[in-house]
Amino acid sequence: MDGNNIGYLFAAFGIIWLMVFIYVFILLRREKSLRREIAALKEGMKKP
């Protein structure tokens, strides 16, 4: 049964890291947009 199973092993392995990277990506993107929003808000507070 060994021969084909390596595919499953790499599928599992790949999916774990894919999901981890997707999650990291989402976190970073959220972080970036929040940063931008904060900067914009602070800018807006200074002017008027």
Partner 1 sequence: MRPRILLGLSTLLILAALFMVFIYVPTDKDTGIIQRIFYFHVPVAWVAFLAFFVTFVAGIVYLVKRNPFWDIVASASAEIGLVFTTLILITGSIWARPVWGVWWTWDARLTSSLVLWLIYLSYFIVRAYVSEEERRARFAAVVGIIGFVDVPIVALAITLTRTQHPSAIIFEGGLAGSMLATLLVSIAAFTALYLLFLAVRIHLGEDEREIKSLKEAMRE
Member of 16, 21, 25, 46 binding partner 1 (CB under 8 A): 16
Length of the chain: 48
Binding of partner 1 by 21 (CB under 8 A) = no
Binding of partner 1 by 47 (CB under 8 A) = no
Exposure string over 21-37, b if 16+ CB within 10 A, otherwise e: eeeeeeeeeeeeeeeee
Chain residues in the site for partner 1 (CB under 8 A): 1-2, 4-6, 8-9, 11-13, 15-16, 19-20, 23-24, 27, 30-31, 34-35, 37-38, 41-42, 44-45
